[in-house]
Structure 1
């Protein structure tokens, strides 16, 4: 009985047992912490990857719609907790080669990061004596469009500017038509187009454009490049049937885009068949001599020079 009591209350054994218990507790806590850390990191990576891919599709749709022949060519993600920031490059497909025109960023995830934006590019004509167009980060002009159902005080005409250009370069020019055209009508008149400007505007928007054109100075009343929605032509435009796939993709991009304005445009366009779509303008690429013939056509109401690349 005494031996049992002495062994039970042995101080050394008690301390040893306590130390062993603490060690087991510490090991258990470490193992649980590592498991929790790994699980949370895997979950965070999975959630971030999901929202990163979703955001990429939304922003790429926005770029393809609002930048003629543009697309996101590269993204680099910086992941945080349940989200992150993506730095991306916008490139423009000139058909003979692609050129990076801008670098921007967007946030994604359940917890959106705060983005700080600093100005880039620039604008001219703020006095009202010259057109108030803007520049892209790479120095190219932002193209200007003029709706054929709006009466403007003045229309942009860059034909003389292009004629003064030197060298055998490829020029990007936005054309605004004198009236809306159906795709079948354009096939007869201008097969050299690379991008169509589609009439996605509501009657309220048209009234707003007309009011601005009436009340404001001519130098600021036009539709900016990012406000002109359209779609690229991925193959030579031979007939209206060649555009069916491009138009279907256009509708999908409208529905997918991050912009609420694009969602509104989708609601307007979703029940309109390709043959009933109204084309308001186009973007063409060509040398000075090739563009000269196009710009002299009577259906071209306005022309606006965009990018310029070397012809190689």
Structure 2
């Protein structure tokens, strides 16, 4: 008698067993693929969120440092593989309300998205007959600053321009001093709320560069741009008894948080200085024509540069 059952050679049963094995294999592959896909998606999402948040802190610090009273007011992230791109809006606090002044993008992550940007500039101020201004996307002029320890051939003075402007407006004006002042040396009886203080964060090598440029270059291009002037704001009116230590400590934290080399260098210059030893080179103030004019009369004001202008309502 044959020791093997005839069932062993049943072709239908063999095909059935093979198909059953295939189905199990396919189901296993599908389940494993789903698990791997979900796991990778979660991991990619976690990596993107981590780097997005890290990049936001760095860029927000950069904006707050390089734009007086500026901040990132909105971000929209588009994520890719292990990274992405963030579209963000920069707003400026103009004392009575905030205004969106620019929209930009930054990349983040281990494999950030490709960023392609196109644009063209105008010819304003490139002839040497006027100051070589830069303009924000909303049309406002970037403010110009003049270091007290640099002998410039010419200084910006926008007092007449402000006086000629009509209507009830709030003006943003950068005022450069005739010399560096420490907090306790400022001669103002009172400065309005939202005053921004320009701090002397410059190294000896930077000062030599500024002095050489002022000596050799045309007056129309020798000044310190708004993004190169670092400082901090106070929300309260400033008087001779005010203490700016809290605002200064926040300023140092922003210098640390920013990923830009210039800010890291500024932190290394300032980290061992107390607020009483910090030199203030100028201020940015916000107010009506009369309020601005009153402060601009002070003899310590060496230069004035108009920035943003909004309706006073």
Task: Give TM class, smaller chain.
Answer: over 0.9
Q: 1:121, 1:134 within 8 Å by CA — same for their partners in 2?
A: no
Match of 2:199 in 1: 198
* Contact 1:177/1:299 (8 A) holds in 2: yes
Matched with 2:182 is: 182
Question: Quick check: 1:183–1:240 contact (8 Å CA) kept in 2?
Answer: no
> Judging changes above 3 Å, is the alpha-carbon distance between structure 1 residues 121 and 274 closer, same or farther for their aligned structure 2 residues?
farther
**Once structures 1 and 2 are overlaid, which stretch shifts more, 183-192 or 276-285?**
183-192
SS at 1:35 equivalent: helix
Question: Structure 1 residue 286 and structure 2 residue 287: aligned?
Answer: yes
Relative to the length of structure 2, the TM-score reads: 0.96
Distance (Å, rounded) in 1 between the aligned partners of 2:154 and 2:270: 30
**C-alpha distance in 2, partners of 1:240/1:18?**
90
RMSD: 1.5
1:104 alignment counterpart: 104
Q: Which runs of 5+ in 1 are unaligned?
A: none
Instruction: Give the aligned length.
Output: 312
Q: Distance in 2 between matches of 1:65 and 1:248?
A: 13
Q: Which residue of structure 1 lines up, in the alignment, with residue 265 of structure 2?
A: 264
Partner of 1:152: 152
Aligned residue number for residue 245 of structure 1: 246
How many Å apart are 1:190 and its aligned residue? Answer: 4.8
Deviation at 1:289, TM superposition (A): 1.3
Mean CA deviation greater in 68-77 or 289-298: 289-298
2:57 is matched with which residue? 57
1:31-42 maps to which residues of 2 (within 5 A)? 31-42=31-42
Counterparts of 1:251 and 1:233 in 2: how far apart (Å)?
15
Consecutive unaligned residues of structure 2, counting only runs of 5 or more, are none
Q: Which residue of 2 aligns with 1:27?
A: 27
Residue 243 (structure 1) shift? 1.5
> Which is further off, 193-202 or 167-176?
193-202
CA-to-partner distance for each residue in 1:197-245, whole Å, 9 max, x for gaps?
1000001100000100111100000000000011121333245654211
Quick one: distance in 2 between partners of 1:281 and 1:268? 19
Runs of 4+ deviating beyond 6 Å: none
Deviations 1:258-292 (A, max 9, x none): 21110000000000000000000110011111111
